[in-house]
Amino acid sequence: MQPRGSLSRAVLNLLASDAPNPEPLLGELSELTSIALAASSDLVRDEDIQLCLFVLYSLHYGDVIERGDEWEWHPALVGARLEIESAFEAALRAQVACPPAPASVQEDVAAALFAMTAPDSGPSLSRYIAKQATDEQLREFLIQRSVYTLKEADPHSWAIPRLTGRAKAALVEIQADEYGQGRANNVHAAVYAATMRSVGLDDSYGAYLNDVPAITLASLNLMTMFGLNRRLRGAIVGHLAAFEMTSSIPSRLNSNGFRRLGYGEATTRYFDIHVEADAIHEQIAGRDLAGALAEDEPELLGDILFGAAACLAVDGWAGQHILEAWQDGRSSLRVRDAESEPAEVLL
């Protein structure tokens, strides 16, 4: 894995160490974290910080860092993660605009969320994919989306034990579909992996991690932060509601784009599934999940709206990054200078 600055290099070196407690590196970590956060002009798009947070979260998922088990709850790493999380959350709350809060009534909350996520007629990544994207750009799109989609649903599933009653039941109903209703070949992450293989891409998790920019990592980091913190359970619910409400139409357009270039069901199945499934999920997420949670715990309404707004903002920035690169005739993936970039850390 390629570090992107002093902070991510320090964390990767720690995780690559054979020593169970390499004191010099651990002692430096807190200072390096504070320095990196103070120096960052745009934390959401900061390559070093977002990669570091992604790696620290990966210790809980267990699918990127091969030797991470003994580090998952190490106080120094947890402390660094909490410091970065605090700054990340503060940056998002400063940048993301939330609508006026409705009454904490199920239907009113659902209506507010549907208003937030209503489609507009402006330029969008999915419309570009449907009409203009080249074969190379479609492959790039799959690479960019793989950071989340190869672990689809997992970040939101952290919220299951943090909810009760109606909201928990609604979340489990949605997640059961995401995990294929008990059929391994229907797990959405597995279906996406098949899509990647169908176009000749590597479907192993993290295979293209060095190629995706900070804003792509920030999208996954956002939902993981919301899901892992009980105090942010309202935000993860709002995030999922917005995520589901903005999936069905783009999925149809994405499928059209792949079909336009001659790809068949082996490639489009993932998107075709989401056209129908997410049209149902958005109703459950808006009313039975977010609406019910707001009724049962009215104090969480503000975070529900913040989670939805943050989802729309960060995913919108990530999509805008890709679209602007393509419109300028550039790749949306990172351009790395082998001579100036830090050497790879082997884990």
- Residues 83 and 116 placed together within one structural domain of the fold: no
**Mean pLDDT across the stretch 318-346?**
81
Q: What is the sign, positive or negative, of the torsion defined by CA atoms of 248, 252, 257, 263?
A: positive
What's the pLDDT tens digit per position in 252-266?
A: 999 999 999 999 999
Domain boundary among 39, 66, 95: 95
Whether residue 1 is contained in a domain is answered as: no
How confident is the model at residue 346, as a pLDDT?
54
Instruction: Retrieve residue 60's tokens.
Output: 């809980």
27 vs 134, which has greater pLDDT? 134
How confident is the model at residue 28, as a pLDDT?
86
How confident is the model at residue 58, as a pLDDT?
95
Whether residue 341 is contained in a domain is answered as: no
Whether residue 333 is contained in a domain is answered as: no
Report the distance separating Cα 176 and Cα 168, nearest Å: 12
- Residues 227 and 149 placed together within one structural domain of the fold: yes
Report the distance separating Cα 2 and Cα 102, nearest Å: 45
- Residues 84 and 110 placed together within one structural domain of the fold: no
Whether residue 198 is contained in a domain is answered as: yes
Domain that holds residue 39: 6-95
**Mean pLDDT across the stretch 2-22?**
85
- Residues 121 and 32 placed together within one structural domain of the fold: no
- Residues 212 and 240 placed together within one structural domain of the fold: yes
208, burial (CB in 10 Å: exposed 0-12, middle 13-18, buried 19+)? buried
**Mean pLDDT across the stretch 48-64?**
94
Instruction: Retrieve residue 214's tokens.
Output: 């900070």
Instruction: Retrieve residue 153's tokens.
Output: 């649903």
Q: What secondary structure letter does DSSP report for 67?
A: T
- Residues 53 and 145 placed together within one structural domain of the fold: no
Query: Among 111-120, 121-130, 208-217, where is mean pLDDT lowest?
Result: 121-130
How confident is the model at residue 17, as a pLDDT?
76
CB 190 within 8 A of CB 272: no
Domain count, the chain: 2
Whether residue 335 is contained in a domain is answered as: no
- Residues 136 and 205 placed together within one structural domain of the fold: yes
- Residues 294 and 182 placed together within one structural domain of the fold: yes
Global pTM?
0.94
Whether residue 228 is contained in a domain is answered as: yes
CB 193 within 8 A of CB 274: no
What's the pLDDT tens digit per position in 57-112?
A: 999 998 787 766 788 998 899 999 999 999 999 999 999 999 999 999 999 999 99
- Residues 84 and 130 placed together within one structural domain of the fold: no
Whether residue 337 is contained in a domain is answered as: no
CB 206 within 8 A of CB 274: no
User: CATH number of the domain that 210 lies in?
Assistant: 1.20.910.10
**pLDDT tier at 211, thresholds 50, 70, 90:** very high
- Residues 146 and 208 placed together within one structural domain of the fold: yes
CB 9 within 8 A of CB 51: no
**Alpha-carbon 170 to chain mean position:** 21
Domain boundary among 65, 95, 125: 95
- Residues 50 and 155 placed together within one structural domain of the fold: no
pLDDT at 251 over 70: yes
Whether residue 344 is contained in a domain is answered as: no
- Residues 43 and 131 placed together within one structural domain of the fold: no
Report the distance separating Cα 14 and Cα 4, nearest Å: 15
